Amino acid sequence: MSFTQAIIENVLKLAEEKGAKKVSKVVVELGDLLLINPEQLGFCFQVLSCGTIAEGATLEIKFVKPHIECPICGKHHSYPVAICECGGIVKVEGGKDIIIKRVEMEV
């Protein structure tokens, strides 16, 4: 719920800054490593937006995979691994962020 609270707070702050009367759509990118259930996030978004200008807004969720690479051999991995086949400890970048990519508003 705290992730959703942060999304709502930031969306409402942006809407206030822009003088919006209504928020109609919010697009967020979620890192796969956060292990957030999209249905739960959507439900919490609906509940927490009630009574605000974001009430009834559509929440679009896009998942972002982490970039996992071995610093020794340079091999890229598409799934979470700790140690590469070559014995190198992989470096993981991304996949842990929540980014508000777009907010559609009526001003």
CATH class of residue range 2-65+94-106: alpha beta
The Cα–Cα gap between 104 and 26 comes to 6
The Cα–Cα gap between 20 and 28 comes to 19
The predicted model scores a pTM of 0.83
pLDDT average, residue stretch 70-84:
86
pLDDT average, residue stretch 71-79:
87
Q: What residue spans define the domains of the chain?
A: 2-65+94-106
pLDDT average, residue stretch 42-71:
95
Task: Give residue-wise pLDDT tens across range 9-26.
Answer: 999 999 999 999 999 999
Is the pLDDT at 92 greater than 80, yes or no?
yes
Residue 94 region by backbone torsions, left for phi larger than 0, else alpha for psi between -120 and 50, else beta: left
For the record, the structure tokens of 30 come out as: 């979620």
The Cα–Cα gap between 88 and 76 comes to 12
The Cα–Cα gap between 84 and 81 comes to 7
Q: Which pLDDT score is estimated for 38? A: 93
Q: Which pLDDT score is estimated for 1? A: 64
